[in-house]
Structure 1
Amino acid sequence: MAIIAKKYAQALYETSLDKDVLDLMYDEFAAVDEAVIPNQDKLKAFDSDPKNIAEDRNSLVESAFKGINEYLKNMLFVMAENRHLSILPEVFKAFEGLYNQYYNQDFATVESVHELSQDELDKVGEALIQRTGLSKLIITNVINKSLIGGIRAKVGTKVFDGSIQNDLAQIERKFIRTK
Structure 2
Amino acid sequence: MSNSVVAKRYASALFELAQQHGQTGSIQEEMNELKKVFRDNKDLGELFGSPKLSSAKKKEMIANIFKGANPLVLNALYVLLDAKRMDEAQNVFEEFLALADDAAGIAEAKVYSTRPLTEQETNGISATFAKKIGKHSLRIENIIDPSLIGGVRLQIGNQIYDSSLSTKLDKLQRKLIGS
After TM superposition, the score normalised by the length of structure 1 is 0.89
* Residues 1-179 of structure 1 aligned to structure 2 (within 5 Å): 2-47=4-49, 49-175=50-176, 177-178=178-179
Distance in 2, matches of 1:87 and 1:41, equals 14
Q: 1:72 to 1:45 in 2, by over 3 A?
A: closer
DSSP 3-state at the match of 1:68 = coil
Matched-pair contact (CA < 8 Å) for 1:41–1:86: no
* Alpha-carbon offset, residue 45 of structure 1: 4.4
Matched-pair contact (CA < 8 Å) for 2:48–2:81: no
**13-22 vs 80-89, which deviates more?**
80-89
Q: Identity rate of aligned residues, in percent?
A: 27
Distance in 2, matches of 1:52 and 1:173, equals 62
Structure 1: gaps of 5 or more residues: none
Give aligned pairs, total: 177
Q: RMSD in angstroms over aligned alpha carbons?
A: 1.8
DSSP 3-state at the match of 1:138 = strand
Q: 1:40 to 1:3 in 2, by over 3 A?
A: farther
Matched-pair contact (CA < 8 Å) for 1:61–1:80: no
Runs of 4+ in 1 over 6 A off after TM superposition: none
Distance in 1, matches of 2:69 and 2:165, equals 48
Structure 2: gaps of 5 or more residues: none
After TM superposition, the score normalised by the length of structure 2 is 0.89
Distance in 1, matches of 2:87 and 2:137, equals 31
* Alpha-carbon offset, residue 74 of structure 1: 0.7
Distance in 2, matches of 1:80 and 1:111, equals 39
DSSP 3-state at the match of 2:142 = strand
Matched-pair contact (CA < 8 Å) for 2:35–2:94: no
Distance in 1, matches of 2:98 and 2:134, equals 16
